[in-house]
Every structure is written in structure tokens, then in C-alpha cells.
């Protein structure tokens, strides 16, 4: 034990050492290039294989979307922790209400994953479904090169991103079901053919708690 | 080794096929006094993609009136015939001499593979020009353009780029099967429209 390199006496007393500027390895991306970007082509090939893999032995389109969702879920759980630790120390709290959570997803998560913010955030205008929120992305990066065949027209491969969002919501203590829906071509003309809406449907207890918080505040 | 007779037959076959398919429409005078010849300047007429087995996997006509319409069966025959002729012309092509190869080897310090024989590249008729581009994996892109069209190899390279992006990166595309990708169609159309309107 005494021969271990770097085992100075003061290290043993203080335990974990922090660099003086407070930046740990979690604050920096592993990719040390200037822009910290990855090749979109290699991601496209990887994602294409992920979809093909998920497509094996599925019973239907819903099953396929569920598989993609499951692939994204653990990523969301981990990203929540990572994104919060990279926030400045004052705002390192996890989001406490729905709006703060959705803003974290729209701004921080999207910027981290795709290099830009999501295009829009909406609350369902239907009074019967107050638990539904929508995150709109005009051209999801994961679908950049994907054309879904006509016989599978309900499928949207951004179900993977929906899984990531679901992971973030679950991790933050807001259990939700998130699904991806294509809406391009129907409304607003052909401007954004790949337009996708991520429908976030929170569980009942989340809304219950939310109403209590708002009532007190 | 194919006999000369069969080769000649194949060439004859291709020529007849092309003649039948793309016999040019007589230019008609239009009300505004311009004739079709003027409009046909600088145009990309059609694109055909042939897989490495000689099957037709994609065809698209961009400019109505440039070429005569033919049915799908004839297109399939054209694709197969062209594939056969291309294979034979590639064998006709002599390989680069070995003396050439050693000089490059001594220059770069390592043995370099000789260029693969390319085979038929351009086929020109009075009214259109057919350019063929073969990828490393043996997929052929045939582009029918106007005879005056410049920079066809740049255009065809760009189309290959689009194919690599929107067909090969699509998880629902099965290799060697007909290309049915909306995204590829859309990007290709907008790219060719840009050229044709220049």
C-alpha cells in the first residue's frame, strides 16, 4: 500500500481530490476536438443499424417503436445527471415543476444532443387532456436520412429520442409516457416534411403534485 | 470467353434498344416562336440506376418531352443489355502496362493496384448523351442529358452523394432491391430542377 504512486499523506486525509478550478472530468466532453462534434454520417449508419436491430422479431409498428423507446430510456436517465452537474453550482437542482423540466429538455438536452434547441414547446389545448405537453422538432436529426416506407407510415424512428425524453422525465421524478408523431405535410404545407411532435403524457400523480405546489405558491 | 458473334449481337441489341426507346420527337414550333430545341438546352433528361447484378433499381424522368416515354419492361431490358455490354467493354479495355506500374511503385515506395478497367462510359446520339458512372461496388448510374450539357461528371457525382446519403443510410432500404425512398426522390428532384433551370 505504501508503495502506491501518488499516495501523499494529505491525499489520504481529504479523500477525493478536486481540481482548483472546480472542473471534474464530468464537466468536459470526452471528445476533445475544437467543436466537440461527431460525424453525422457515422451516427446515421449506427442509428440505421439500431433500427434494423430493433426491427428483428417485432410483431408490429407499435412494438418496434417501443423497442426504440427502450433503447433511448437509459440514455435519458444518465443525461439528466450529466446535464445537471454541468450547470453552474447555483442551478444544479433537478427541476421541481413541469415547466422547468420541459425547459431543461427543450434547451439543455436538445443543445447537448443536437447542437440546437427544440423548435417549440406547447401545452395541449384540449381541456380533457391537461396532462399532455408537446415538444416540436421541425427536422429531427435522427430522421435526417430515413424515409419510412408507405406500409409503415405511422412509424417515426424518433421514438428513440422520445425514449431519451422519457428517461429524463422518469429520472427527475415526473413519470411520463413519451411518443413521437410525424405531422409534416398535413399542416403548414410542405415546409417541414419531417416535422415531429413528441407527446409527453405525465402520470396522474404528477399533475396532482403540481396542483398542490401551485396552490401553495 | 464470349465469341465475337455474341459480342456483336449484344452491341446490336443495345443499339436497337436505344434507338427504339429514345427516338427523338420532332421539334414542334411553339406559340411563342421558340422551338423545343431551344428549351432542351442544358437539361438533364432522366436517371437510371442499375445494381451490380444488372437489375434496374431506379428510374426517373425529369424533363418531359426530351425523350420518348418507354414502358418499364423496355427499361428493364435496357438496363440488362447495358450491363452486359459494359461488362464486355471492360474486358476489351487493356490493362495498364507493368512498366508503368513499377515506376509508380518506386515513386510511392509501395505497390499500387492497377486502375480497374472502366468499360463503356459515354454513349452519344444526335439528341442525347448517356453518361455512365460505376461505383466501387458495381452500381451504375446512367444519366441521360442534352448533348450540350457540361460538367455531367460533377452532376453524377452529386447524385451518387445523394444516393449514399438518402438510400444507403436508410434502415428500410434492402440492398439490391428497387429504391423507394421519398427523401431521395425529393432531394434528387430539387437538385435536378436547380440544374435544369440554370
Once rounded to an integer, what is the mean pLDDT over residues A29-38? 75
Does pLDDT of B89 surpass 70?
Answer: yes
Task: For B163, name the nearest residue in chain A, comparing CA atoms only.
Answer: A145
pLDDT at B5: 56
Task: Please report, for residues B88, B117, B136, the alpha-carbon distance to residue B104 in angstroms, rounded to integers and kept in the order given.
Answer: 28, 18, 22
Once rounded to an integer, what is the mean pLDDT over residues A99-110? 94
Which residues does chain B have within 8 Å of residue A48's beta carbon, measured at their own beta carbons?
A: 169-171
pLDDT at A107: 94
CA distance linking residue B47 with residue B195, whole number of Å: 14
pLDDT at B43: 87
Once rounded to an integer, what is the mean pLDDT over residues A1-11? 46
Cβ <8 Å between A44 and B169: yes
pLDDT at A65: 95
| Three-state DSSP class for residue A209 | helix
Mean pLDDT over each residue of chain B, to the nearest integer: 79
Once rounded to an integer, what is the mean pLDDT over residues B164-180? 94
Q: What pLDDT band is residue B68 in, cutting at 50, 70 and 90?
A: confident
Q: Mind listing the pLDDT tens digit for each residue in B150-159? A: 889 999 999 9
Q: Which range, of A69-73, A103-107, A160-164, B39-43, averages the lowest pLDDT?
A: B39-43
The sheet that has B122-124: what strands, in order across it?
B56-61, B44-50, B140-145, B129-134, B122-124
Nearest chain A Cα distance for residue B9, angstroms: 41
Does pLDDT of B6 surpass 70?
Answer: no
Give percent above pLDDT 70 in chain A.
89
Does pLDDT of A197 surpass 60?
Answer: yes
pLDDT at B178: 95
Identify the contact set of chain B against chain A, taking CB-CB distances under 8 A.
165-166, 169-172, 180-184, 186
Does pLDDT of B144 surpass 80?
Answer: yes
- Report the 10 Å Cβ neighbour count for B46: 20
Does pLDDT of B146 surpass 70?
Answer: yes
pLDDT at B34: 44
Once rounded to an integer, what is the mean pLDDT over residues A30-56? 87
CA distance linking residue B27 with residue B45, whole number of Å: 16
Which residues does chain B have within 8 Å of residue A185's beta carbon, measured at their own beta carbons?
A: none
Cβ <8 Å between A146 and B180: no
CA distance linking residue B15 with residue A129, whole number of Å: 67
CA distance linking residue A110 with residue A140, whole number of Å: 10
Cβ <8 Å between A48 and B186: no
Q: What pLDDT band is residue A184 in, cutting at 50, 70 and 90?
A: confident
Does pLDDT of B27 surpass 60?
Answer: no
Which residues does chain A have within 8 Å of residue B166's beta carbon, measured at their own beta carbons?
A: 145, 147
Q: What pLDDT band is residue B40 in, cutting at 50, 70 and 90?
A: very low
The β-bridge partners of B58 are B49
Once rounded to an integer, what is the mean pLDDT over residues A160-177? 96
Task: For A148, name the nearest residue in chain B, comparing CA atoms only.
Answer: B172
Q: What pLDDT band is residue B177 in, cutting at 50, 70 and 90?
A: very high
Given a contact cutoff of 8 angstroms between Cβ atoms, the answer to whether B43 and B146 are in contact is yes
Cβ <8 Å between A52 and B186: no
Q: Mind listing the pLDDT tens digit for each residue in B43-66? A: 899 999 999 999 999 999 998 777
CA distance linking residue B15 with residue B97, whole number of Å: 32
Cβ <8 Å between B171 and A55: yes
Does A139 lie at the interface with B, CB-CB under 8 angstroms?
no
Q: Which range, of A137-151, B18-32, B50-64, B89-103, averages the lowest pLDDT?
A: B18-32
Which residues does chain B have within 8 Å of residue A157's beta carbon, measured at their own beta carbons?
A: 171
pLDDT at A81: 92
CA distance linking residue A38 with residue A33, whole number of Å: 9
Q: Mind listing the pLDDT tens digit for each residue in A77-97? A: 999 999 998 888 787 888 999
Nearest chain B Cα distance for residue A170, angstroms: 29
| Three-state DSSP class for residue B152 | helix
Cβ <8 Å between B169 and A152: no
Nearest chain B Cα distance for residue A60, angstroms: 15
Does pLDDT of A2 surpass 60?
Answer: no
Which residues does chain A have within 8 Å of residue B181's beta carbon, measured at their own beta carbons?
A: 147
Which residues does chain A have within 8 Å of residue B190's beta carbon, measured at their own beta carbons?
A: none
pLDDT at A203: 94
CB environment A8-37: b (16+ within 10 A), e (fewer): eeeeeeeeeeeeeeeeeeeeeeeeeeeeee
Q: Mind listing the pLDDT tens digit for each residue in B102-140? A: 444 455 556 666 666 788 999 999 989 999 999 989 999
pLDDT at B18: 62
ipTM, two decimals, is 0.78
Which residues does chain A have within 8 Å of residue B175's beta carbon, measured at their own beta carbons?
A: none
Q: Which range, of A90-94, A104-108, A163-167, B18-22, averages the lowest pLDDT?
A: B18-22
Cβ <8 Å between A48 and B182: no
Residue carrying C-alpha cell 445537471: A84
CA distance linking residue A78 with residue A109, whole number of Å: 11
Amino acid at each position: 500500500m505504501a508503495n502506491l504512486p501518488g499516495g501523499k499523506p494529505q491525499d489520504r486525509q481529504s479523500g477525493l481530490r478536486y481540481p482548483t478550478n472546480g472542473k471534474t472530468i464530468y464537466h468536459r466532453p470526452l471528445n476533445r476536438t475544437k467543436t466537440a462534434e461527431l460525424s453525422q454520417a457515422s451516427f446515421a449508419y449506427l442509428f440505421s443499424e439500431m433500427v434494423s436491430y430493433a426491427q428483428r422479431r417485432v410483431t408490429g409498428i407499435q412494438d418496434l417503436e417501443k423497442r426504440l423507446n427502450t433503447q433511448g430510456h437509459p440514455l435519458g436517465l444518465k443525461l439528466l445527471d450529466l446535464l445537471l452537474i454541468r450547470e453552474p453550482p447555483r442551478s444544479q437542482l433537478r427541476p421541481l415543476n413541469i415547466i422547468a423540466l420541459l425547459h431543461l429538455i427543450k434547451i439543455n438536452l436538445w443543445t447537448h444532443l443536437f447542437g440546437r434547441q427544440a423548435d417549440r414547446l406547447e401545452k395541449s389545448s384540449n381541456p380533457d387532456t391537461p396532462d399532455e405537453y408537446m415538444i416540436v422538432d421541425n427536422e429531427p436529426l435522427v430522421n435526417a436520412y430515413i424515409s419510412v416506407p408507405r406500409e409503415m407510415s405511422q412509424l417515426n424512428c424518433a421514438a428513440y429520442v422520445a425514449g431519451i425524453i422519457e428517461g429524463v422525465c422518469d429520472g427527475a421524478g415526473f413519470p411520463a409516457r413519451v411518443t413521437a408523431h410525424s405531422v409534416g405535410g398535413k399542416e403548414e404545407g410542405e415546409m417541414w416534411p419531417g416535422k415531429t411532435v413528441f407527446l409527453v403524457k405525465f402520470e396522474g400523480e404528477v399533475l396532482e403534485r403540481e396542483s398542490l405546489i401551485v396552490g401553495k405558491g | 470467353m464470349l465469341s465475337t458473334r455474341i459480342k456483336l449481337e449484344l452491341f446490336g441489341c443495345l443499339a436497337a434498344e436505344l434507338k427504339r426507346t429514345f427516338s427523338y420527337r420532332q421539334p414542334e414550333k411553339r406559340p411563342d416562336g421558340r422551338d423545343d430545341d431551344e428549351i432542351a438546352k442544358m437539361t438533364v433528361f432522366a436517371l437510371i440506376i442499375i445494381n451490380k447484378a444488372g437489375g434496374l433499381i431506379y428510374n426517373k424522368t425529369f424533363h418531359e418531352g426530351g425523350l420518348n416515354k418507354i414502358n418499364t419492361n423496355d427499361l428493364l431490358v435496357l438496363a440488362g443489355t447495358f450491363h452486359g455490354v459494359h461488362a464486355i467493354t471492360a474486358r476489351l479495355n487493356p490493362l495498364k502496362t507493368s512498366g508503368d506500374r513499377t515506376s509508380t511503385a518506386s515513386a510511392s515506395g509501395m505497390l499500387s493496384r492497377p486502375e480497374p478497367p472502366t468499360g463503356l462510359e459515354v454513349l452519344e446520339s444526335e439528341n442525347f448523351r448517356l453518361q455512365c458512372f460505376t461505383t466501387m461496388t458495381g452500381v451504375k448510374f446512367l444519366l441521360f442529358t442534352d448533348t450540350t450539357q457540361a460538367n455531367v461528371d460533377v452532376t453524377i457525382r452529386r447524385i451518387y452523394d445523394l444516393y449514399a446519403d438518402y438510400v444507403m443510410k436508410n434502415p428500410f432500404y434492402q440492398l439490391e432491391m428497387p429504391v423507394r425512398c421519398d427523401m431521395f426522390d425529393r432531394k434528387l428532384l430539387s437538385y435536378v430542377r436547380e440544374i435544369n433551370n440554370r
